[in-house]
Structure 1
Amino acid sequence: MSRSLVVKVTCGTDAPERCNQGFTVAAAAAVSGVPVSLWLTGEAAWLAVPGRAAELELPLATPLADLLDTVLASGSVTVCAQCAARRSLSEGDLLPGVRIAGAPVFVEEALGEGVQALVY
C-alpha cells in the first residue's frame, strides 16, 4: 500500500516560519514521490494568488514560490472554499492548477486509506 500526505497550512505572512515549514514538508514529500495534497486555509489562501507567495521572505529558507511550484508540479493545491469566499477569491484569481474546495473534500482526502494528515 502506498501512503499519501495531506498538508493543511493555516497561516501566511502572519507566521512565516510555520507557513514555510508546511510548504517545505509538502514539497519534500512531492519530490520524494509521495502523493501530496496541499490545502491553503485562512491567511494561506492568499499564497495561491499569483505573486503573493514571493512576498513571504524567510532567511535561510527555500523561497515559498519555489516550494509551491514543486507541489503544483506533481501534487495538488487546494484553497478552502470558505476562506476563498471571505477574501473574494475565485479560481480565476488563483495560480493555474489551484482549485477551490470545501471541508467535505478535505475530510474525504484526510480520512483516505493510507493517508497522513498534517496541519501547520
Structure 2
Amino acid sequence: MEQFFSLLYPLVAIISIVAYIPQIKTLLFATRSPQNISLSSWMMWVASSFLAFGYVATHVHDSMLCLTTGVNLGMVALTAGLVAYNRYIRFSDKTTNIRFLKAVPVRNEDF
C-alpha cells in the first residue's frame, strides 16, 4: 500500500494545477473587477501555504511533499495576485487613483 501511494503522490501537484486553471483563466480574461471573490481569504491561504511550504522545506525534507506544497503556494499566490491586480489596478476607479496621486507630494530632488 505504501508503494501505491508513493507512485500516486505526484498526481497531487498535477491535480492542484488543473484545479486552479479555471479560476486563473477567469481572472485573466475578466471584463470587470472580481468583487465577489474574497481577497482576504486568498491572502490567508497564501500565508497558510507559505508556512506549510517553509515547514516542509526546512524540517521534513521530503522532495515530493516540498514540490506539492510549492506548487500549491505558487498557484494560490498567482490567484491572489490576479484578484488584487484586477480589483485595484486593471479595473480600478481611475478617479480614485488620480486623487491618491495628487495627495502624494513629489519633490524635484526625487528625480
The TM-score with structure 2 as length reference comes to 0.30
The TM-score with structure 1 as length reference comes to 0.29
Larger radius of gyration: 2
Higher-strand-fraction structure: 1
Higher-helix-fraction structure: 2
